């Protein structure tokens, strides 16, 4: 790319073992196009459209077990059939020279009995029911969850380990553990949800125990430099609030250092004047790469890189609607407008692979 040195977002960055040619990252976004929890061939088109040499893509949240699901047509990675379905998608991205991580998750209480095996209650750290509806609108009221027994937690951690191992078998370069936005890991982290009285509840140290044990186990499974961790301490998405989010954020960021993972990502629901004051202490606490995702545009993303607030900037809706987002940033070209009505559509083309490239709009 010409004149990259003048554009902070388009400068190289060494992300552990991966040399990135630019700092514009594709966010993991639930797109609801995986029928029967099986990734589909049209996903290879979608992700390869957004792949560039030395670019980092993070694939959509993918379930670790049959109890992890809470949205229709979202993918999984716990069966061999799912692993085989991911392989050509990963191959298409690697053919473009990009680095590809898979976000793995368990939705916890943000589910309904209709998504659970044998219609059982969703599992969580608590029996507190979440307020509906779901972001995709397919669940109007969440089901009351069942609080996990202490003895069940190691089994759940093993589900994440199996999913991570399967992701590497499918060809992914690493995994991002989804500890944000009110899903299962976040449910353990936040005292607004976690009301446990065992070693996984109460103090901030205890509430972080599940996340840290999970990171340690997955690191032993696939290696620490193949792991990213996404958390949202300052968000109350789906009633996932904490009484002291800064204390939680800094404690967890510092605790993650002992495992030498590749990066942490901190997503904000929207960009505000408070973002920098909230993110700086977390950025300073964590010794690895710091990915910021806060509704950034070209100018604010460049400013975040230039100031040192972020090492990489994660783009969701803009990257969804602009498959060539780094190129548009290079040219300072106008961006396609995204269509919210198609965010969670099951259509394999509309609002998915039909957004035009910049050369097609001039």
- Catalytic residue set: 183
- 289 closest CA partner among 245, 224, 347: 224
CA distance 59 to 62: 8
Cα distances (Å, whole numbers) of residue 161 to 65, 77, 246, 288? 11, 11, 29, 22
Cβ pair 133, 123 in contact under 8 A: no
First and final C-alpha spacing in the chain: 19
CA distance 136 to 307: 35
**278: Cβ–Cβ under 8 A, 6 or more apart, which residues?**
234, 246, 249
CA distance 324 to 334: 12
- Residue labelled with tokens 């099951």: 346
322 in helix, strand or coil? coil
DSSP assigned state of 113: G
83 in helix, strand or coil? helix
**246: Cβ–Cβ under 8 A, 6 or more apart, which residues?**
233, 234, 278, 281
């Amino acid at each position: 790319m010409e004149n990259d040195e003048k554009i902070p977002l388009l400068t190289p960055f060494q992300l552990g073992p991966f040399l990135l040619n630019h700092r514009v990252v594709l966010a993991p976004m639930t797109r609801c196009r995986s029928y029967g929890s099986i990734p589909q061939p049209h996903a290879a088109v979608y992700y390869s459209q957004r792949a560039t040499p030395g670019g980092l893509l993070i694939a959509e949240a993918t379930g670790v077990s049959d109890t992890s699901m809470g949205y229709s047509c979202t993918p999984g990675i716990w069966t061999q059939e799912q692993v085989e379905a991911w392989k050509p998608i990963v191959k298409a991205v690697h053919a473009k020279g990009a680095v590809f991580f898979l976000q793995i998750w368990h939705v916890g209480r943000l589910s309904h009995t209709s998504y659970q095996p044998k219609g059982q209650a969703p599992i969580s750290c608590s029996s507190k029911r979440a307020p509906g509806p779901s972001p995709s609108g397919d669940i109007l009221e969440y089901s009351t969850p069942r609080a996990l027994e202490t003895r069940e937690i190691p089994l759940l951690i093993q589900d994440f380990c199996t999913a991570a191992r399967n992701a590497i078998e499918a060809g992914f370069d690493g995994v991002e553990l989804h500890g944000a936005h009110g899903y299962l890991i976040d449910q353990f982290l936040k005292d607004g949800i976690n009301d446990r009285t065992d070693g996984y509840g109460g103090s901030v140290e205890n509430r972080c125990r599940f996340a840290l044990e999970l990171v340690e186990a997955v690191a032993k499974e696939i290696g620490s430099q193949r792991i990213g961790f996404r958390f949202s301490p300052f968000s109350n998405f789906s009633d996932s609030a904490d009484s002291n989010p800064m204390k939680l954020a800094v404690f967890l960021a510092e605790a993650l250092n002992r495992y030498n993972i590749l990066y942490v990502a901190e997503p904000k629901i929207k960009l505000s004047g408070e973002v920098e004051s909230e993110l700086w202490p977390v950025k300073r606490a964590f010794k690895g790469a710091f990915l910021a995702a806060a509704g950034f545009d070209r100018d604010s993303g460049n400013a975040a890189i230039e100031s040192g607030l972020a090492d990489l900037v994660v783009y969701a809706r803009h990257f969804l609607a602009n498959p060539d987002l780094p190129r548009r940033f290079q040219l300072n070209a106008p961006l396609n407008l995204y269509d919210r009505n198609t965010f969670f559509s099951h259509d394999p083309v509309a609002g998915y692979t039909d957004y035009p490239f910049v050369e097609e709009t001039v």
